[in-house]
Amino acid sequence: MDTIKALWSKVVAWWNLLMAYTVWKVVFWWKKQTGWLDLGQTITVTGTIVAVDMNVTGLFNDGDVCFNVQLDPGQEKYITGFGGVQTNEDKSGTTPPSIHCEITPWMRAQFDGKWQQLAVGKRVKVTGAWGFDGVHLGGSEWLEIWRAIWRHMPNVLDGWFEIHPVTSFDYID
């Protein structure tokens, strides 16, 4: 039984590498064609982490380390969307408006030892590519991307601003 578990662990690890380094890059490219807007700037923001998702494993997970940052005063322009609404990836309303930050699997090694310490309440300085994720409508990742293929335009009412990929981050204070 241990041999089967060990073999299965290797299969899952291989699958995750394949997905993270090839398939999800293609998916992200396709998201850019269908509703993820690259805003053409590298930005640096500071603020407090209000949510963390380190679920980087699983057969259908893209491997991104995700965290949301409530921005310090004066930086609201980075999360103010169409019609002047401040956006938030957390649609439950349990966290304040924030910018969603994603460390991709191919960038994670550069932050090894730091990304594992991400926690709600820590203050951070984050740099990376600024974008607007207008792909999501609710549902599984694959279903959302499939819908976006046919919609072929960003969902400006329900999307949020992101730093994706994060190219630099440090803890502050």
How many Cα atoms sit within 13 Å of 110 on the Cβ side?
A: 12
Best mean pLDDT range from 36-45, 61-70, 88-97, 101-110: 36-45
Which position has the higher pLDDT, 19 or 105? 105
Token duo for residue 112: 């090894």
64-73 pLDDT, tens digit each: 899 999 999 9
pLDDT the model gives residue 84: 84
pLDDT the model gives residue 99: 97
First to last CA, the chain: 49
CA 75 to chain centre: 19
**In the predicted structure, residue 60 carries a pLDDT above the cut 60:** no
**In the predicted structure, residue 26 carries a pLDDT above the cut 80:** no
76-89 pLDDT, tens digit each: 999 998 778 888 88
Mean pLDDT of 23-45: 76
pLDDT-above-70 percentage for the chain: 73
- 0.75 exceeded by pTM: yes
Q: What is the dihedral of CA 133, 44, 74, 114, to 10 degrees?
A: 90
**In the predicted structure, residue 59 carries a pLDDT above the cut 50:** no
Domains of the chain with CATH codes: 2-171 (2.40.50.140)
pLDDT the model gives residue 22: 66
pLDDT the model gives residue 156: 77
Tell me which long-range contacts 77-80 makes (C-beta under 8 A, separation of at least 24).
78/43, 78/45, 78/130, 78/161, 79/160, 79/161
